Amino acid sequence: MSSTSFYRLLTLGIVAGVLLWLGNGFVQTALFSAREVRPITPRGDLAAFETTAADLFQATAPSVVYIFTEQATRTVFGTERVGRGTGSGFIWDQAGHIITNNHVIASADRVFVRFDSGDTVTASVVGRAPDYDIAILKASVSAASLRPIPVGSSTDLRIGQAVFAIGNPFGLSRTLTTGIVSALGRTLPGQGGRDIEDVIQTDAAINPGNSGGPLLDSAGRLIGVNTAILSETGSYAGIGFAVPVDTVNRIVPQIITRGKPMRPGIGVSVAGEEIAGRMGVKGVILIEVVAGGPAARAGLSGVDRRTQRLGDVIVAVEGQPINTAGELSKRLEKIGIGNTATLTVERDGQRRQVTVDIVDIG
């Protein structure tokens, strides 16, 4: 074969290839375009974890409410009512008591609750516990229409177990997010100056508006009240916190009965751990002892205001060492109001034990 014939055949091959390549898209479109509704492919049953989440939401969502607030504000045109914020809550009992965060309603003078049915009512504030960021509302609605949330326990939680949050982030109602228990035993500062102990950390998405909503276990039981997030932007960053249900279940009856929780104490004011750290003191420094109170009756004394000399430092409760005011409060709560606690105190390098009554200082 001559070179001329070879190059002619090569050219024809290249041209044919180019034409085939250019026409392939046209042929593919002409032959395979779906010009009718495509048939649905059967999917089969949901996976077990999907069924758990779907069933949990269907069963629990009617117990979760949307909360929004108003406050009267003076303007050049007179007094106007402006929205102050939104949040979440859940039905506690068939008397119409609703649990939410105290910070959700803190600056409001009118509170509204919208139920899963879509009905919206004005709610009254029964009481608050700023130390735990908990508030209780009361809505006058039919008991038959209320579905109290099932209550679980937070004592037997395990890191890694599944959790579910239902709430109203950014005003988007009926939102379910899922995650795990990321850590246990966290401490958060309460609004009243006392730390909230045994806080649950979770990676379930919690955003502004989720505050006051329930954190649930896979059985659909309440295990915590979503209260805070750790984020530089104010939005979800994978770290959220919930007040443990055992704390909630203990203080809510007290708030319903008397408007505030009982606060176990011994009649002292104490220094912060920063001060103790700067002074190189291990324990809880007593700043002042209330005259006639349990600590005073037990012979304890605070800082001498004239000489600034340290008085007693509590270093243990019932033989268990403590270093912070939060640890002291936690130990007194566990012992309980009406009982006595044995304190190990130190003064001038000498240790002694004293017995002190625990009373309600709320």
Question: Using one digit for the tens of pLDDT, what is the confidence trace for 210-266?
Answer: 999 999 999 999 999 999 877 666 667 788 999 999 999 999 999 999 988 888 999
Lowest mean pLDDT among 20-34, 57-71, 171-185, 284-298: 20-34
Q: Which of 103, 153, 218, 246 is catalytic?
A: 103
pLDDT of residue 215: 97
Strand, coil or helix: 279: helix
Q: Which of 2-6, 80-84, 311-315 has the highest mean pLDDT?
A: 311-315
| DSSP tally for the chain: helices H, then strands E | 7, 20
Give the mean model confidence (pLDDT) for residues 106-127: 92
pLDDT of residue 276: 81
Please report, for residues 94, 188, 276, 293, 330, the alpha-carbon distance to residue 288 in angstroms, rounded to integers and kept in the order given.
44, 25, 15, 11, 20
Q: d(Cα 132, Cα 316) in Å, to the nearest integer?
A: 24
Q: Choose, from 131, 133, 203, 312, the residue flagged as catalytic.
A: 133
Confidence (pLDDT) at 257 = 93
The catalytic residue among 63, 173, 182, 211 is 211
The pLDDT mean for the chain works out to 87
Report yes or no: 164 and 218 within 8 Å, Cβ to Cβ: yes
Render pLDDT for 142-151 as a digit per residue (tens, 0 to 9): 988 999 999 9
Averaged over 30-36, what is the pLDDT?
Answer: 74
Give the residue carrying structure tokens 């989440």: 53
Please give the C-alpha separations between residue 138 and each of 41, 141, 283, in angstroms, as whole numbers. Answer: 49, 9, 42
- Span 303-316, average pLDDT: 88
195 as an active site residue: the answer is no
pLDDT band at 7 (very low <50, low <70, confident <90, very high): low
Render pLDDT for 255-304 as a digit per residue (tens, 0 to 9).
999 988 888 999 998 887 778 888 888 889 999 999 999 999 999 998 88
Q: Is the pTM of this model over 0.85?
A: no
The answer to whether 160 and 145 are in contact (CB under 8 A) is no
Q: Is the pLDDT of residue 342 over 90?
A: yes
Residue 127: pLDDT band (50, 70, 90) is: very high
Domains and CATH numbers, the chain: 58-145 (2.40.10.10), 162-258 (2.40.10.10), 264-360 (2.30.42.10)
* Residue 133 annotated among the catalytic residues of the structure: yes
348 is catalytic: no
**pLDDT for 64:** 97
pLDDT at 54 (0 to 100): 94
- For residue 74, the cross-strand partners are 79
pLDDT at 329: 85
Residue 162 has pLDDT above 70, yes or no: yes
- For the stretch 184-209, what's the b/e string if a residue is b when 16 or more beta carbons lie within 10 angstroms of its beta carbon? eebebebbeebbbbbbbbbbbbbbbb
pLDDT at 305: 83
